[in-house]
Amino acid sequence: MARSGVYRRAFVSLDTTEDGKRPNQKGLAFMANIKSQKKRIITNEKRRMRNRAVKSELKTAVRHVKDAVAEGNGKDAYAFACEACRLMDKAASKGVIHKNQAANRKSGIMRLANTVVTAEDIAAYEKPAPKPQKTGSKKAEAKAARKAAMAAASAEVDAAPADARPLRIAVPKGSLNAEAIACLEEAGLDVTGLANPGRALVISNPGVDYIIVRPSDAPVFVALGAADCGICGKDSLLEVGAAVEELVDLRFGGCRFVVAESAGTSAAIEERYRKLGSIRIATKYPSITRAHFARTGTQVEIVYLHGNIELGPIVGMADRIVDITATGTTLRENDLVVVDDVMECTARVFAGPAAYRCDKRIRDLAARLAEVASKEA
C-alpha cells in the first residue's frame, strides 16, 4: 500500500526489507520516494561516516596519552595531550562534538598528563610543523598554476624597460597616407622610407615600426594587438566597430557620408516605400547605413557592394545609395542628387584601451599629434 509524501510505507517481514535493511519494530520499512529526501539520506550517510572517523581518531589520541602516563613518560604524554587537544578543537569546529564537551575532555586530558609531566618536558616540547594545505582538486591546482604564471608574466613585464619593443603604428594606405606621414613626422617620429615603401608592408625605424594597412583594416590590427595605435578615417572606426579608443581628431581627409538617388526619382521612391514598406539601399558601409536609417525610423533593404556604388540607382538595382563624397563630382557626373546627409568624417588617431593606459609612449604621441592638429586648424 502506498501513499503520497516523503516516504512510501509497506508491510514486510520482520527480518529484512527487499534492499537488505531491517524494518522498524512494527514491521514497517520506510523508503524515500522524492529526490530531495534521497539526497538527504546520502548526505547523512557521508556525515555519519565522517563523524565516526573523527571520533575514532579522538579515542586513539586519548589512548596514546593514557599509555604514556602509564609508562611514566612525561615528554610523550605532554606531546600526545597537545595533539589530543588540537583534535578536540577541530572536532568541535566541525560540529562532531559540542564545544562544551571538547572543553571538558581537554581539561581531563591535561589533568591526567600533568600527573607525570615536568617543567623540563614542557620546555623540550616542539610544536609539529603544519601539514601542507591541500588544493582540493585538479581544477584548483590548474587555477593556482595559471595565477602563478600570470604573476610571473606580470613581473617580467614590469621589470622590462618601457622601450624594450618598438612602438607599432598602423599607417593607412590611399588618400590618407601622405597627410598621415606628414603629421607623424611633425610629431617628431622618424618616417624614413615610409613615403615610398615599395612592396614592404612593415617599415622599421629606430623606436618605431610602421605597419602599412588599408584604412578599414587598421582598427582590427589595433584591437587584436598587432599594432599599438593607428590612423584611419572616422568612417572606418564606425563601420568596423572594433574595441578601440579614439584619441585625436587630426582634421584632415574631410569628407561626407550622404544619401543619394537618381534625379527625378524621389516621388517614385516615396510611392514604392508607401506600398512595400521599405526601400533598397546600395552601399559599401552597411553598418553605418543601418544605424542611420534606424535613427530615422526608415525600413531599408541593404545591398552590399565593394565599389562603384553609383551604379545601383542607374541600373535599377537599388533605389538610393549611401556613399562617401568629398566634392560631389562623381555624383553629379552620374546624375545623382543628395537627399540627406549622414555625417562628416575626418582622420582619427586611436589605440587599444589597455595599450593606451599601460604604454606612456602612446599617450605622449597622442598629445604631440593633438598639438599638430591644433596648429593646422
| pLDDT tens-place string over residues 132-169 | 666 567 778 888 888 888 888 767 655 555 556 899 99
- DSSP states along 161-172: -TTSSPEEEEEE
C-alpha closest to that of 224 among 316, 50, 351: 351
Say yes or no: domain 167-252+348-376 is CATH 3.40.50.1000. no
| pLDDT tens-place string over residues 185-215 | 999 999 998 888 888 899 999 989 999 999 9
Determine contact, residues 127/85, Cβ cutoff 8 Å. no
Alpha helices per DSSP H over 15-34:
none
- How far is residue 49's CA from residue 152's CA, in Å, rounded to a whole number? 43
Determine contact, residues 38/44, Cβ cutoff 8 Å. no
167-252+348-376 matches 255-345 in fold: yes
- Mean of pLDDT values over 304-326: 89
Report pTM.
Answer: 0.55
Least confident stretch, 57-61, 64-68, 118-122: 118-122
- DSSP states along 135-202: --SHHHHHHHHHHHHHHHHHHHHHHS-TTSSPEEEEEE-GGGHHHHHHHHHHTT---TTTSS-TT-SE
pLDDT-above-70 percentage for the chain: 87
| pLDDT tens-place string over residues 336-350 | 999 999 989 999 999
- How far is residue 117's CA from residue 76's CA, in Å, rounded to a whole number? 9
CATH for 255-345 is 3.40.190.10
Where in the chain are the domains? 1-33, 36-124, 167-252+348-376, 255-345
Determine contact, residues 110/82, Cβ cutoff 8 Å. no
pLDDT for residue 27: 44
Length of the chain equals 377
CATH for 36-124 is 1.20.58.110
259 vs 3, higher pLDDT: 259
pLDDT band at 351 (very low <50, low <70, confident <90, very high): very high
Q: How many CB atoms lie within 10 A of CB 234?
A: 21
